[in-house]
Structure 1
């Protein structure tokens, strides 16, 4: 499943994280980046939770983080979170399309 996303031009790595923060699957991830990505997901979940409470929103569809190391898109997939990291924000449309196609066949 994640190999399909890695074939998208500009994609650097992909992770599927469960609700406890454990990695279920990954592709393209350099060994030294795992701890950073898990911390990023935890922080992203905190921001999402805070925004949901503030806005009285039941759900969320995605969170884009534009970091110095490149953009990261967090997308809910049931109780899991799909993390897609890519080279440049100009690739966002292509990445969103690939993620939606994968999650909603």
Structure 2
């Protein structure tokens, strides 16, 4: 299901992670998926502080390159790519893949 993301220029890795933190499917090079759990915690804190229930995505610009976390039901799609300049292209591909755009 997520393999087409590797066709997007700059995408190195993608993984769909369930609510318990287990990998549903992954493609590309190995990545530390612990960031998904940390991302869930940050998102939960922000939702509580802002009083908002929905979120679209979260961009983390870390030393190894940018990571885009995108909700998909109770799962989170992590997409690792090479440069923040590619964010628009990556977001478009993710939304198209998930049927959001």
Question: TM exceeds 0.5?
Answer: yes
RMSD: 1.0
How far is 1:29 from its partner?
Answer: 2.7
Extract unaligned runs of 5+ from structure 1: none
Q: How many pairs were matched up? A: 100
Residue correspondence of structure 1 range 19-38 to structure 2 within 5 A: 19-30=19-30, 33=31, 36-37=32-33
Residue correspondence of structure 1 range 77-88 to structure 2 within 5 A: 77-88=72-83
Alignment deviations for residues 29-48 of structure 1 (CA, whole Å, 9 cap, x no partner): 32xx3xx22x1011100000
Q: Which has the higher helix share?
A: 1
Q: TM-score, normalised by structure 1?
A: 0.91
Residue correspondence of structure 1 range 19-98 to structure 2 within 5 A: 19-30=19-30, 33=31, 36-37=32-33, 39-98=34-93
Alignment deviations for residues 7-44 of structure 1 (CA, whole Å, 9 cap, x no partner): 100000000000110000000032xx3xx22x101110
Extract unaligned runs of 5+ from structure 2: none
What is the rounded CA distance, in whole Å, between the counterparts of 1:86 and 1:73 in structure 2? 8
Q: TM-score, normalised by structure 2?
A: 0.95
Which stretches of structure 1, 4 residues or longer, exceed 2 Å deviation after superposition? none
